[in-house]
Amino acid sequence: MVDKVNFENLSIEENIKNFIDYIRFERQLASNTIFSYKRDLNKYKLFLSLKKVDNYLEVSYDQILFFLEYLNENYCGSSISRMLSSGRNFYKFLVREKIVKKNPFIQIKNPKKPKKLLEVLSENEVNRFLNGIPYSTELEIRDRAMFELLYSSGLRVSEIVNLKISSIDFDEGLLRFIGKGNKERITPVGKTSKLFLKKYLNIARFKIEKEIKSDYVFLNKNGKKLTRQGFWKILKKYDKKINIGKNLYPHIFRHSFATHMIERGADLRVVQELLGHSDISTTEIYTNLNRKYIKDIYFKYHPREKNSV
């Protein structure tokens, strides 16, 4: 425990030191985190000095707002969030030690992180990637079938690696399986994907499987069920080889599937069903993603825009 002393008579430097001792010895935070707290609180101390705030124990809400304004002028969003958190936790410590009655930072919320736009592949980029996967060996045939299916049906990686042969209905061209949330999902399989899937099951899989029998569709080189980590390694191998020029991760094919469906006029409810989303608001992200495409099409095809000088 931090020794119980008369903290209210100590300077801000001394109480910052006591706080640092607390997070180091009692909370046992990492050295990098402790360094960040120390640096942030020294910046806060400097601000108080610049604004001639004499009593750090009686900082007002308005003064904290001035501090926030100062941060907004000098730092980016992530740095602001971190420094506000440091100040909030420092005063939380002072409240805990009964040095102050209330935390002046408590009503100040961290700035919201901007939502990252989902990255998707264009149709040409998807074609480049899929056509860049050779299919001369058993494992290459497996890989081509796997990625064709990933994009064709908008599957999650967990659904790919857990897919079973009994889930495939070639006559109907459908997959029936248990998806996220333990819900049954039915999704179509495209012609090209079905072609490579049949090729894999009829020609390559039994050679990979060897004496180990399994109902899982996609197996690793040892004949065992392919793992998510194994899938990642395969993707990264082709990413390096084909070099699309974008950060490839498994879900980008699912995002691309949904975006391309909407670009070509698919109803949002249908895309929701295909993706297995329980809430359509989750699917609506792809309509936002599609705005740039709509804008590009507008300027390309609208007669007044096309012929304007």
Helices (H), ranges, the chain: 12-21, 31-50, 61-74, 77-96, 123-131, 138-153, 157-161, 191-199, 205-209, 228-242, 251-263, 268-275, 280-283, 285-289, 291-301, 303-306
User: What gap in Å lies between CA 90 and CA 18, rounded to an integer?
Assistant: 10
156 catalytic residue (yes or no): yes
**pLDDT of the residue at 306:** 52
Residue 255: pLDDT over 50: yes
269 catalytic residue (yes or no): no
Q: Which pLDDT tens digit goes with each residue over 193-248?
A: 999 999 999 999 999 998 888 999 999 999 999 999 999 999 999 999 999 999 89
Please indicate whether residue 307 or residue 139 has the higher confidence score (pLDDT).
139
Phi, psi at residue 227, to the nearest 5°? -95, 170
Lowest mean pLDDT among 71-75, 114-118, 247-251: 114-118
One-character DSSP codes across 119-154: P---HHHHHHHHHTS--SSHHHHHHHHHHHHHHHHT
Q: Which pLDDT tens digit goes with each residue over 109-155?
A: 887 766 666 788 999 999 999 999 999 999 999 999 999 999 999 99
**pLDDT of the residue at 308:** 47
């990255």: which residue's tokens? 119
Q: Which of 109, 180, 198, 241 is catalytic?
A: 180
Q: Which of 45, 228, 277, 293 is catalytic?
A: 277
Q: What's the topology of domain 123-299? A: hpI Integrase; Chain A (1.10.443)
44 catalytic residue (yes or no): no
260 catalytic residue (yes or no): no
Half-sphere exposure of 184 (CA within 13 A, CB side): 4
CATH of domain 7-96: 1.10.150
Q: Where are the domains of the chain?
A: 7-96, 123-299
144 catalytic residue (yes or no): no
Q: Which pLDDT tens digit goes with each residue over 16-35?
A: 999 999 999 999 998 999 99
**pLDDT of the residue at 4:** 46
Q: Which of 210, 241, 251, 269 is catalytic?
A: 251
Q: Which of 142, 144, 185, 254 is catalytic?
A: 254
Q: Is the dihedral of CA 297, 127, 189, 164 positive or negative?
A: negative
Residue 276: pLDDT over 90: no
pTM reported for the whole predicted model = 0.59
Q: Which of 43, 144, 156, 194 is catalytic?
A: 156
Closest to 144 (Cα-Cα) out of 57, 204, 56:
204
254 catalytic residue (yes or no): yes
